[in-house]
């Protein structure tokens, strides 16, 4: 089931309302600590009965760490706790759990002037270190002596696990203090936090494990925005069905309008993205002069041509020819490599305003509206737009930084205004629907930071649209497969050296694993 994404403030409201509804805070802390221990065990972090170091702050995050210390000690692990505050300074629930620590726990009172040295001393010989210092309540920059403490924890020769949030990382926006914890994994309570998904916070989180501690659904619905992170099971459910007796027309027929003299490769990459994701039949419309190399590179595709402008871009074709081209098509993808020409821009805008088939519009297609100063308008309710922050900023007369500062709210607003699914490509990629839903894509890494990956994504989205997926489902599934395909290519070729066409090939491996 999809998980709702929340800020630290929203998580605090959920926590307070859960307590007000009758679940004591002490009970929530007990659930959190026990669930975190279960996650440690399930993740294989507890090995060889090596000592575990837990560094506990004075708040409820430290209280979670104290519960973990008790549970692990009762299960037979040697536990060392560095307590950063005296019992009188702990939160009420944390103090109650401090008083319940068994004698087997090696408890050391922190000395503010020696925190870093104490971490180094207690961490020697440990098999695991746990950060229960600050949690979600603190945003950078940090005050002394916390930076030196966290740097000492990062320097330990043991895996480092953060409880709820890596200390020094904001749960609201992912901003991070230079000394913030760099965790091997983060065990976060109840719901994932926005700061775990946005850079640089995501780079501090490591593997993210969300544990359920019993927040009521009605309380979550009251405070959590419609921002969701799907699970693998959710993505699997989005895969188009493939009965054993299906034929090519049942597997979807896509028209891809792409390419120019300067960007011929974009058409090929868009076609590869479509063909590697289960499409039954691909027809490509490209400017004259590109057909021969495309027919050699993509023998699986049908290649049609259009007259060209003086700059080598697509000049468009007559309405009657367009009707023939759209016959038996299930969806259209337009934009990869179309270039920047006013004649092409005008034709693209007219086409998008009249096309009644499901439609995905890539950057150059969407840029046509920006260059002509037109508001995007469409004849179909199944439309996907795929800009990155810079391209969206140009359409809005804004800047990329301004777009990213309001990425969640802005994508939802624009999707509603344009009545289209808006894919804001980036780290992470967001998929916004007209009803306000924003899907956060958890896959992908810097392997995708190269020209042409957006063309592959456009082909993938078009493929899933042609196979019958809704605009939201097609974009959600394609972005996830696209990110995993980049990761798959990097596994064998490295994140620096994988080619874009190899990322497209990686999509086949991802889908094969999902089908297994």
Predicted confidence (pLDDT) at residue 504 exceeds the cutoff of 60: yes
Which alpha helices (H) appear in 130-263, and where do they start and end? 146-154, 201-205, 217-223, 232-238
- Name 278's Cβ contacts closer than 8 Å, sequence gap at least 6: 240, 242, 251, 252, 463, 464, 467, 511
Do 243-515 and 3-225 have the same topology in CATH? no
What's the pLDDT tens digit per position in 49-62?
899 999 999 999 99
pLDDT at 60: 93
Predicted confidence (pLDDT) at residue 98 exceeds the cutoff of 70: yes
Determine the 3-state secondary structure of 369 from DSSP.
helix
What's the pLDDT tens digit per position in 176-230?
999 999 999 999 999 999 999 999 999 999 999 999 999 999 999 999 999 999 9
Name the helix (H) or strand (E) containing 122. Answer: helix 115-123
* CATH pick for 243-515 out of 3.90.1150.10, 3.40.50.300, 3.40.1190.20, 2.30.42.10: 3.40.1190.20
Burial class (CB in 10 A: 0-12, 13-18, 19+), 289: middle
Domain segments of the chain as ranges: 3-225, 243-515
Q: Over pLDDT 70: what percentage of the chain? A: 99
Its CATH architecture, for the domain 3-225, is 3-Layer(aba) Sandwich (3.40)
pLDDT at 139: 77
User: What count of other Cβ atoms lies within 10 Å of the Cβ of residue 127?
Assistant: 18
What's the pLDDT tens digit per position in 240-276?
888 887 888 887 899 999 999 999 999 999 999 999 9
Read out DSSP for 237-248?
HHSPP--TT--T
């Amino acid at each position: 089931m999809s998980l709702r994404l929340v800020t630290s403030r929203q998580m605090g409201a959920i926590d307070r309302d859960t307590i007000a509804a009758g679940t004591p805070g002490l009970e929530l802390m007990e659930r959190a600590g026990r669930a975190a221990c279960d996650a440690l065990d399930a993740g294989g972090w507890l090995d060889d009965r090596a000592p575990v170091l837990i560094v506990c702050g004075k708040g409820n995050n430290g209280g979670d760490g104290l519960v973990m210390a008790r549970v692990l000690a009762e299960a037979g692990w040697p536990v060392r706790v560095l307590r950063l505050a005296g019992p009188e300074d702990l939160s009420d629930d944390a103090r109650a759990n401090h008083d319940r620590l068994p004698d087997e726990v090696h408890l050391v009172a922190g000395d503010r002037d020696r925190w870093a040295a104490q971490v180094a001393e207690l961490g020697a010989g440990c098999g695991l270190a746990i950060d229960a210092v600050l949690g979600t309540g603190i945003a950078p920059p940090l005050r002394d002596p916390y930076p030196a403490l966290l740097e000492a924890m990062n320097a330990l020769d043991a895996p480092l696990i953060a409880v709820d949030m890596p200390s020094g990382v904001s749960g609201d926006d992912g901003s991070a203090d230079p000394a913030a914890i760099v965790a091997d994994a983060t065990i976060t309570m109840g719901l994932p936090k926005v700061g775990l998904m946005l850079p640089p916070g995501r780079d501090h989180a490591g593997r993210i494990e969300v544990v359920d501690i019993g927040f009521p659904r009605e309380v979550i619905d009251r405070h959590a925005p419609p921002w969701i992170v799907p699970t693998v099971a959710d993505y699997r459910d989005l895969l188009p069905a493939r009965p054993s007796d299906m034929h090519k027309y049942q597997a979807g027929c896509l028209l891809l309008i792409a390419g120019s003299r300067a960007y011929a490769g974009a058409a090929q990459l868009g076609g590869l993205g479509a063909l590697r994701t289960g499409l039954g039949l691909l027809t490509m419309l490209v400017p004259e002069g590109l057909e021969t190399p495309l027919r050699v590179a993509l023998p699986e595709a049908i290649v049609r041509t259009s007259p060209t402008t003086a700059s080598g871009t697509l000049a468009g074709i007559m309405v009657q020819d367009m009707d023939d081209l759209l016959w038996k098509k299930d969806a259209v993808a337009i934009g990869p490599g179309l270039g920047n020409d006013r004649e092409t821009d005008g034709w693209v805008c007219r086409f998008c305003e009249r096309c009644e088939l499901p439609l995905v519009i890539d950057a150059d297609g969407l840029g046509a509206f920006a260059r002509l100063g037109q508001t995007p308008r469409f004849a179909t309710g199944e439309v996907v737009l795929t800009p990155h922050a810079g391209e969206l900023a140009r359409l809005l007369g804004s800047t990329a930084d301004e777009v990213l500062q309001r990425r969640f709210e802005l994508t939802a607003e624009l999707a509603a205004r344009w009545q289209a699914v808006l894919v804001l490509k980036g780290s992470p990629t967001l998929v916004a629907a007209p009803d306000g839903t924003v899907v956060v894509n958890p896959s992908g890494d810097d392997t995708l930071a190269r020209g042409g990956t957006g063309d592959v994504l456009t082909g993938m989205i078009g493929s899933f649209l042609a196979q019958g997926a809704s605009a939201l489902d097609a974009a959600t599934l394609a972005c996830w497969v696209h990110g995993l395909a980049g990761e798959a290519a990097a596994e064998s070729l490295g994140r620096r050296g994988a080619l874009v066409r190899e990322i497209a090939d990686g999509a086949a491996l991802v889908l094969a694993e999902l089908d297994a």
